[in-house]
Amino acid sequence: MLEGVQMSGETRLVCLLGNPTGHSLSPAMHNLSFRLLGLDAVYLCFDVANENLGAIVAAFKAMERWDGFNVTMPCKQAIIAHLDELDEAARLIGAVNVVKKVDGRALGFSTDGVGFMQNLRKHGVAVEGARMVVLGPGGAGSAIIAQAALDGVAHLDIFARAGGASFAKARELAARVAARTGCSIELHELPDGGGEVGGESDAGSAGFDELASCIARADILVNATPVGMGEGCADTPVARELIKPGMVVADAIYHPRETQLIRDARSLGCTVVPGLGMLIEQAAAGELIWYGAQMPVDVIEAQLF
């Protein structure tokens, strides 16, 4: 439903490409923002298949007033073959979530990490020169890792589940980001304790000791795993006793608004950064790319969430 959206013969188009897209919160955020900003633009969702991306990008380049689009799974990597240029973060992680048309060329960007880092700054967190622990170098985690390094984080400890292609990909990502940015990066095996890491089953293990040591030295702890997702979920990626009182603890999860990790960290006097701000700020970064417009993020959060 495009409630409150008015369209004309000059209405601009931006959209979301992926599959499925029907659950996305992006139309609500962007269409409200466009209305508040007085932009004659509309945001729609389209379910697409990777094999059709070439034809879609060709149509995008040819169609006037179609200014850009977001990309979600499973298209974030596949879209790259059809783009003309990538920003630095997108090149580092090999994925794109924002595309803009400039002079008939399709330019790709990664704004997930930008949104995360902006959310930290909005909570008063200084990132330059900081030490950061990141749990889970997957889709969200890889974007956070790359942007943190680009933004001046001094040292990154990345924890990934051992074995298989995912750990190998994490090693490649760490090497690529370190070589490009000069950031000191160490990759570690995440203790296999199921949901919670650092509980009694992990105590005394090498992985537990390594994680505990890294968190004790860190300024910022980031959860980029799905552990803790879902209303009423009491799972946490890190046991409460491993969290250093007073440190910064951030979560990429936005449902629920406060995960168990965030609740535990708050009880220890930590600066907490829930994931909803990342969702809104990455959307705001897209509008800045497409239209040079500053999304009214506080109003969007107040009215939609």
- DSSP codes of every residue in 113-147: HHHHHHHHHHTT---TT-EEEEE--SHHHHHHHHH
Averaged over successive runs of 10 residues, the pLDDT of the chain (305 residues) comes to 74 98 96 97 98 98 98 98 98 98 97 98 97 96 98 97 85 97 96 55 66 97 96 94 97 96 98 97 98 98 95
Please report the pLDDT score of residue 191 as a whole number. 77
- 276-291 and 112-122 helices, crossing angle to 10°: 120
Domains 12-110+279-304 and 113-274 alike in fold: yes
Please report the pLDDT score of residue 199 as a whole number. 52
Amino acid at 171: R
Termini Cα distance of the chain: 17
Which one of 61, 76, 122, 244 is the catalytic residue?
Answer: 76
Q: In the CATH hierarchy, which fold is given to the domain comprising 113-274?
A: Rossmann fold (3.40.50)
Question: Hey, where are the domains in the chain?
Answer: 12-110+279-304, 113-274
Q: Residue 76 catalytic?
A: yes
Cα-based distances in Å from 55 to 15, 28, 44, 263, 302: 16, 27, 18, 47, 39
256 upstream amide cis, omega within 30 of 0: yes
20 upstream amide cis, omega within 30 of 0: yes
User: Does the domain formed by 12-110+279-304 have CATH 3.40.50.10860?
Assistant: yes
